[in-house]
Structure 1
Amino acid sequence: MYFVDRSVAVIKPKQPFLDWLNAVPGNDMVDLTLDSLRSDCTVILLPEFNEPEEAVAHIDEQYEQLFKIEVASWYDDEDLWPKDMSLKAFWEWFDVEIHSTVLDSVEGDISNSPAGEL
């Protein structure tokens, strides 16, 4: 195993996200629950930070792209997206867990590709 020079953030939807999904016209996901939404969440790599507040500030800088990635993973039609996608709304819609230790348990190089511009 190898230490990775990154921290991570886990982006976990909260009730307002589920409420939005349930309000989208034509939504047929009647069995969708908050627990199921929070069971497989987006994880992003962050720069290493000395203080958790630095990681939160980094999330604040990236919130717009993160918000768009989260809603686009359900609906790519921007007309269906929430009207308020402000920083305040982001923190109302998502919990963010910051973790400072990242280990790579796989031998070999990490490959990556851009998440795309939304």
Structure 2
Amino acid sequence: MYFVDRSVAVIKPKAPFLAWLNAVPDNDMIELTLDALRADSTVILLPEFDEPEEAVAHVDEIFEQLFRLELASWYEDESLWPQDRSLKTFWEWFDVEIHSTLLDTVDADIMNSPLDPA
């Protein structure tokens, strides 16, 4: 195992996100539960931080990208997205768990590719 010089944030949807999903017009998905929605959450790597507040501040800096990513993972049509995508709304719609220790258990290089910035 190897220590990785990153922290981790787990982005977990909250009830307002679920309410938006279930209210999208012509939604043909089965009725989701919050537990089901939170069971497989987005995990992002962050720089290492000395204090959890520093990690939260970093999430604040990139919240627009995270909000867009979460919305687009369900609906790419931005006209279906909520109009209010402010920092305040982000924190009302998502819990963010910060974890300071990341271990790599795979003895191979990590492959990565840039995310579409749109």
The answer to whether TM tops 0.5 is yes
Alignment of 1:1-118 (within 5 A): 1-118=1-118
| SS of corresponding position for 2:111 | coil
User: Residue 10 of structure 2 contacts residue 98 of structure 2 at CA under 8 Å; is this kept in 1?
Assistant: yes
The residue type paired with residue 102 of structure 2 is V
Q: Which segments of structure 1 move beyond 6 Å, counting only runs of 4 or more?
A: none
Q: What is the Cα deviation at residue 114 of structure 1?
A: 1.0
Q: What is the Cα deviation at residue 12 of structure 1?
A: 0.1
| SS of corresponding position for 2:46 | strand
| SS of corresponding position for 2:116 | coil
Q: What is the Cα deviation at residue 117 of structure 1?
A: 1.2
| SS of corresponding position for 1:43 | strand
Q: What is the Cα deviation at residue 43 of structure 1?
A: 0.2
Identity %: 75
Q: What is the Cα deviation at residue 31 of structure 1?
A: 2.8
Unmatched tracts of structure 1, length 5 or more: none
Pairwise CA RMSD: 0.6
Aligned length: 118
Query: Is the deviation greater in 76-85 or in 25-34?
Result: 25-34
Query: Is the deviation greater in 90-99 or in 21-30?
Result: 21-30
